[in-house]
Amino acid sequence: MRGKVIIAVFGMIFLLMSITYAGILNYYGKIEGMAEVRGPIFYASCESLSQPVVYKLLINDNSTGDCEPRQFTDGNLKWFLSDSLGISSFYPANYTFYVKARADEPGQVLHLELWITDEEGNKKSLICDADITITTSETFSEYSAYCIGDSLTLDKSDRIAWIMTGSALAKKYYIDVSNGNTRIEVSKA
Amino acid sequence: MDRRIKILGRDVPVILLTIIAITSLASAALLSYYGEVVGTATIEQSVKIDGKIWNQTIEETITGVAGNTYATKHTITNDASQEAQISIVTVSKTGPENYDPEGAGVTVSYGSPGQDGECGDGNDGPAPTSVPAGGSVDFCIYYEFAINAYPGTYTVTTEVQPQ
């Protein structure tokens, strides 16, 4: 008899708690945000950091400006340097280069390198490199190439430098950096 | 003269049965109550997000690039006659393979639109903590993706909770 009373009392308590609980909202509303995220994009820009070889490499900002094509001769360099990345690591990645270019003479090879630099822009380590062969001389065409970089350990002040080098003597290269035409797209390797 | 009737093997005095019968009849003749009012109340949720209640999840989709911050705007309305205290909280975050919810990836924060009514333009204020009686407030959700966030699909669940 006593056991039945105890069970009945517990049953009543449980029922009362359930009713009380059901009567109060834990939340008024719920928002579920789903984001499809791609890797960052680095855009070569018209903005000069120091004449005549270093320009700004914009991060996820395709407002690169509208300027005359950058040009250089032979084995000279053109640098595009980003701001500090503010991160301490980066995953192994595919780096796809898109370059809108032409050369004085078809068949010229343009060498592309991607470097980690320190805050002052001094080279620290090569991420990866690739070549493209420019086949047009009269009109600009978009060329692409890719390379794979290992995972990176970085200082937060480190920057990325995209360095373009001509490989032919006495030949002129023209790179169209306006309107986000020349860029690097990053994806997971 | 002491007359008795046998009920369930016992002798019960007739006078006793008569008294019980009279009492029962008297009791039946008195009203316990004159009438009964049954009140039925249908209560609607007073605080709603974008016009939706607790079991109507709001879904939003963002297509973005690592290194950027994306902001969305929502409205909380309060139909009650008293101010509602609220808090806006992140209850879960999931990401692609190898994603560490405690590490780099997506950072979620909350605020309120600036005077221009836009979220994420640099003029935003703090997240609201109350909704005035019969009024509404806007709030912003900021999804900030680190530049080294793994490419893939991230899901973030936010709740507006009573305080």
**Nearest-angstrom CA–CA distance, A53 and A71:** 10
> Which residues in B lie closer than 8 A to residue A30 (C-beta atoms)?
49, 54, 57-58, 91, 157-160
- Which tens digit of pLDDT belongs to each residue from A91-103? 999 999 999 999 9
Asked if the Cβ–Cβ distance from B141 to A31 is below 8 Å, we say yes
Q: Token pair of B116, please?
A: 């221009």
Give the list of residues 6+ apart from residue A117 with CB closer than 8 angstroms, or none: A81, A123, A124, A158, A159, A160, A161
A60 close to B (CB below 8 A)? yes
**Domain assignment of residue B79, yes or no:** yes
Could you tell me which residue, B123 or B40, shows the higher pLDDT?
B40
**Nearest-angstrom CA–CA distance, B20 and B139:** 74
> Which residues in A lie closer than 8 A to residue B99 (C-beta atoms)?
none
Phi first, then psi: give them for residue A18, nearest 5 degrees: -65, -45
Unique residue bearing structure tokens 């000069």: A48
Q: Please check the confidence at residue B27 and state whether its pLDDT lies above 90.
A: no
- Structural domain including B143 reads 47-162
**Domain assignment of residue B54, yes or no:** yes
Residue A16 · residue B133 · CB < 8 Å: no
- What mean pLDDT value characterizes chain B? 90
Instruction: Give domain limits for chain A.
Output: 41-188
Phi first, then psi: give them for residue A10, nearest 5 degrees: -60, -40
Tell which residue, B113, B141, B112, B143, has the closest CA to residue B128: B112
Best mean pLDDT range from A46-55, B31-40, B102-111:
B31-40
Asked if the Cβ–Cβ distance from A29 to B53 is below 8 Å, we say yes
Which helix (H) or strand (E) segment holds residue A5: the answer is helix A2-22
**Type of residue numbered B104:** A
> Which residues in A lie closer than 8 A to residue B64 (C-beta atoms)?
35-38
CATH code (residue B150): 2.60.40
Q: Please check the confidence at residue A17 and state whether its pLDDT lies above 60.
A: no
Q: What is the pLDDT of residue A13?
A: 61
**Domain assignment of residue B112, yes or no:** yes
Unique residue bearing structure tokens 């950072």: B107
**Domain assignment of residue B91, yes or no:** yes
Q: ∠B108-B114-B118 over CA atoms, to 5°?
A: 70
A101 close to B (CB below 8 A)? no
Distance, in angstroms, between A25 CA and closest chain B CA? 8
Could you tell me which residue, A3 or B118, shows the higher pLDDT?
B118
pTM: 0.79
Determine the residue among B61, B69, B77, B148 to mutate to test chain A binding: the one whose Cβ has the most chain A Cβ atoms within 10 Å: B148
Q: What is the pLDDT of residue A51?
A: 63
Asked if the Cβ–Cβ distance from A35 to B70 is below 8 Å, we say yes
Confidence of residue A185 (pLDDT cuts 50, 70, 90): very high
Q: Which of A36, A86, A188 sits opposite B63 (nearest CB)?
A: A36
> Which residues in B lie closer than 8 A to residue A86 (C-beta atoms)?
147
Determine the residue among A21, A28, A159 to mutate to test chain B binding: the one whose Cβ has the most chain B Cβ atoms within 10 Å: A28
**Domain assignment of residue B22, yes or no:** no
- Which tens digit of pLDDT belongs to each residue from A22-39? 578 899 999 999 999 999
A35 close to B (CB below 8 A)? yes
Number of domains in chain B: 1
Asked if the Cβ–Cβ distance from A87 to B148 is below 8 Å, we say yes
> Which residues in B lie closer than 8 A to residue A40 (C-beta atoms)?
65-67, 147
Determine the residue among A21, A26, A37, A159 to mutate to test chain B binding: the one whose Cβ has the most chain B Cβ atoms within 10 Å: A37
Other Cβ atoms within 10 Å of A61 Cβ, number? 15
**Nearest-angstrom CA–CA distance, A85 and B149:** 13
Read off the pLDDT of each residue in B44-58 and give the average, rounded to a whole number.
96
Q: How many percent of chain B have pLDDT more than 70?
A: 93
The CATH number assigned to the domain with range A41-188 reads: 2.60.120.260
Confidence of residue A1 (pLDDT cuts 50, 70, 90): low
> Which residues in A lie closer than 8 A to residue B129 (C-beta atoms)?
none
- Which tens digit of pLDDT belongs to each residue from A42-72? 999 988 887 667 899 999 998 877 777 787 7
